[in-house]
Structure 1
Amino acid sequence: MKLGSILILATTLVIGSLLSFTGQAASAYLTSAATSSMSIAGQSSKQGNRQLKVKSRDHAIQLVRRQYPGKVLKAQSSQVNGHQGYRVKMLSSQGVVFYVSVDAQTGSVRRN
């Protein structure tokens, strides 16, 4: 029991003395880490400004159905005008197959 207490005390003293020598380095590290996390937070808030107006496949289908009558045959994620988006394959009431693109960033719906 006494040996365990002595080891704990000795370890505590060694760590305390190391911290006093490296205090300035630790302070610089903590300052650097805080600055980095602030920078990352700033980047994520900038990316938050570019939120998507169409956030799901189901939302894209809903927008397409509002503008174009017919049956949805297929809907999949796709690149639209260089942005994330959706491509929806439709069947008109006259039996014509056509495609509609939905830009997820702007929310624009356009028949191809």
Structure 2
Amino acid sequence: MAWVVLVLCGVLEAVWATAMGRSEGFTRLWPTVVFGVALVVSMAGLAYAMRELPVGTAYAVWVGIGASLTVVYAMATGAEPASAAKVLFLAMIIGGVVGLKAVS
């Protein structure tokens, strides 16, 4: 169950990171609200998962999922240019996350 919560909270990390960017310095109401809710739920889920999983592994997986999805979303929406190098490095992050899960 801890792994499921951790993955969902990693997705929420991408949500709050994207919402933070769209809030324009917390001057826009709804992106700021989405940021706050997603941040609190994501952190709470991370804390829950860390009760059963090693701290280093849980944090690295959470960050890896959040960072990867944030970049993929930005590239998919055209907010950030895509390149072969970026895709390669994202694959390396995902490979690292899968590797941490495999050895845990």
Provide the TM-score with structure 2 as the length reference.
Answer: 0.25
Query: TM-score, normalization: structure 1?
Result: 0.24
More helix by share: 2
Higher strand share: 1
